[in-house]
């Protein structure tokens, strides 16, 4: 089991380049199922989740190659319609092959993703949408089996805006017969990126980025040749790193327009942030102010930045209320931060964070992707040494984070 060791106290300084967005790359890779031929995706982050999706697609008969930030997916023939538990249990985003496989092959057999550290993570809304489009659904032995001779366009209303649910239905509807309207659709930039990728393949989609998306099915889609948007959560994590270490960073290759709720809250916390084109200049010299946040669907404050923001508030000069409205159990990082001296009380879906002068390094354990990032941030600011265990969570979502932090002055290394 690999660990990351950090000697805290260094103020980060310098420039960092943001990688492509994992949560845009995953659905766009799944969209390769819809088009025969060679699909090319660039600005893809080099992450475990990307290779897991590649492995899943290759088991369906799609040729997967990756070199650097380029992924090639050769969809000549689909030889299987099954996504097995052994892969799905490591990455719930595997559910993203459900919609395209059903639309293209008329059948799909996907292991139910099961819960994960942050909550039950059901897919009932994905299934409801496909049923409305004419799919027969059956559940057995932990697998969901869907089949449909021909998917038909339908009006689908989601109780809650589900990101991958919206993406699954959008991909299925792209080659269904007729028009599909998704109401209460997710508006995340990653959903818009998938829509743009599908449009570049010949799909007819309007309204992506709003709560109502209209998809007119077409007969055929051509292969992808598409560049992924930058990762707004990685960029937000580095902004928080500049804040917590009282450093100054130039963050390049990001899209500030995707991060306004995060930038706004970080400015309230006392960070000086300038944005121009694809560059964010972030610095923090003085004290950190306490700021309350509520995680909400986009364009609200993203749940994927909640743990990182909490690390920042743990060393602010006051009390902040952090409430998590998306997932039912996304405070696992609290117990670990308290071991480092943070003063945090959780009551239901709200954490009360009383800032302390400084945290102390300690051995801590990562529990989910974004929680592990928050422990790295806490370690950067803490007095003494922090060792973060189970960093495989980190590697799922952050491309070589210690290689990006070290040139900025962080005393950080990976240990076996
Ligand atoms: C996506 O997960 C992201 N993953 C998550 O990022 C992100 O935290 C989440 O959206 C929220 O923004 C990918 O895009 C691969 P949801 P997803 O469906 O789609 C409930 C990361 O760190 N719900 O938008 O699984 C659900 O329980 C990951 O990269 C249903 O009830 O999230 C949750 O409370 C973590 N039934 C809420 O909706 C359903 O059928 C939002 O979940 C689907 C969802």
Percent of the chain with pLDDT strictly greater than 70: 99
Least confident of 53-67, 95-109, 212-226, 390-404: 390-404
N-term to C-term CA, the chain: 6
Average pLDDT, the chain: 95
Q: What is the CA radius of gyration of the chain?
A: 21
- Angle among Cα 399, 88, 326 to the nearest 5 degrees reads 70
Surface-to-core class of residue 169, CB atoms within 10 Å of its CB (0-12 exposed, 13-18 middle, 19+ buried): buried
Q: Which atom of ligand 1 is nearest to the CA of 326?
A: 34
* Cβ proximity of 301 and 240 under 8 Å: no
Q: Which two tokens stand for residue 413?
A: 């290394």
Instruction: Please determine, for residue 192, whether its predicted confidence score (pLDDT) is greater than 80.
Output: yes
Instruction: Please determine, for residue 399, whether its predicted confidence score (pLDDT) is greater than 90.
Output: no
Task: Give 162 Cα–ligand 1 centroid separation in angstroms.
Answer: 6
Tell me the pLDDT band of 397, cut-offs 50, 70 and 90. Answer: confident
Task: Please give the pLDDT value at position 114.
Answer: 66
Cβ of 27 closer than 6 Å to ligand 1, yes or no, is no
Task: Please give the pLDDT value at position 159.
Answer: 96
Cβ of 124 closer than 6 Å to ligand 1, yes or no, is yes
The residue to which tokens 């529990």 are assigned: 367
Q: One of 116, 187, 254, 284 is an active-site residue; which one?
A: 116
> pLDDT tens digits, residue range 229-273?
999 999 999 999 999 999 999 999 999 999 999 999 999 999 999
Task: Give 127 Cα–ligand 1 centroid separation in angstroms.
Answer: 14
Task: Please give the pLDDT value at position 328.
Answer: 86
Segment 326-332 shows an average pLDDT of 91
Task: Please give the pLDDT value at position 279.
Answer: 98
Segment 180-185 shows an average pLDDT of 98
Cβ of 119 closer than 6 Å to ligand 1, yes or no, is yes
Segment 178-193 shows an average pLDDT of 98
Q: Which atom of ligand 1 is nearest to the CA of 298?
A: 12
Cβ of 146 closer than 6 Å to ligand 1, yes or no, is no
Instruction: Please determine, for residue 119, whether its predicted confidence score (pLDDT) is greater than 80.
Output: no
Neighbouring C-alpha atoms within 13 Å toward the C-beta of 412 = 27
* Cβ proximity of 197 and 227 under 8 Å: no
Q: Which atom of ligand 1 is nearest to the CA of 164?
A: 19
Q: What is the 3-state secondary structure (H, E, C) of 241-271?
A: HHHHCCCEEEEECCCHHHCHHHHHHHHHCCC
d(CA 314, CA 23): 28
The residue to mutate among 23, 192, 369, having the most atoms of ligand 1 within 8 angstroms of its beta carbon, is: 23
Task: Please give the pLDDT value at position 285.
Answer: 86
Instruction: Please determine, for residue 301, whether its predicted confidence score (pLDDT) is greater than 90.
Output: yes
């Amino acid at each position: 089991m690999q660990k990351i060791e950090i000697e805290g106290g260094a103020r980060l300084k310098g420039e960092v380049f943001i990688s492509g967005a994992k949560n845009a790359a995953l659905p766009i890779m799944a969209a390769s199922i819809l088009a025969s031929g060679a699909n090319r995706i660039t600005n893809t982050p080099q992450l475990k989740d990307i290779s897991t999706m590649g492995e899943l697609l290759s088991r369906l008969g799609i040729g997967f190659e990756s070199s650097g930030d380029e992924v090639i997916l050769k969809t000549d023939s689909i030889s299987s319609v099954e996504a097995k538990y052994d892969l799905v249990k490591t990455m719930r985003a595997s559910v993203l092959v459900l919609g395209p496989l059903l639309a293209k092959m008329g059948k799909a057999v996907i292991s139910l993703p099961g819960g994960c550290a942050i909550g039950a993570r059901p897919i009932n809304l994905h299934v409801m949408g496909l049923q409305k489009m004419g799919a027969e659904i059956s559940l057995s032995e932990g697998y969901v089996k869907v089949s449909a001779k021909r998917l038909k366009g339908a009006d689908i209303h989601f109780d809650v805006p589900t990101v991958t649910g919206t993406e699954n239905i959008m991909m299925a509807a792209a080659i269904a017969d007729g028009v599909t309207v998704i109401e209460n659709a997710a508006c995340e930039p990653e959903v818009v990126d998938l829509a743009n990728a599908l449009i570049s393949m010949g799909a007819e989609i309007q309204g992506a980025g709003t709560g109502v998306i209209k998809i007119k099915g077409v007969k055929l889609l051509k292969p992808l040749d598409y560049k992924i948007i930058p990762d707004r959560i990685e960029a937000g994590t580095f902004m928080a790193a500049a804040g917590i270490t009282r450093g100054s960073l130039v963050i390049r290759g990001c899209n500030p327009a995707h991060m306004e709720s995060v930038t706004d809250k970080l400015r309230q916390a006392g960070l000086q942030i300038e944005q121009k084109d694809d560059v964010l200049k972030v610095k923090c010299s003085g004290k950190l102010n306490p700021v309350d946040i509520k995680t909400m669907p986009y364009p609200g404050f993203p749940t994927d930045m909640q743990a990182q923001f909490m690390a920042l508030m743990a060393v602010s000069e006051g009390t902040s209320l952090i409430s998590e409205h998306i997932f039912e159990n996304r405070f696992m990082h609290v117990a670990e931060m308290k071991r480092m001296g943070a003063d945090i009380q959780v009551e239901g879906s709200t954490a009360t964070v009383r800032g302390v002068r400084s945290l102390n390094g300690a051995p801590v354990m990562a529990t989910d992707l974004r929680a592990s990032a928050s422990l790295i941030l806490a370690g950067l600011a803490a007095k003494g040494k922090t060792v973060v265990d189970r960093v495989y969570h980190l590697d799922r979502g952050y491309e070589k984070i210690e290689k990006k932090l070290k040139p900025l002055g962080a005393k950080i290394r990976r240990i076996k």
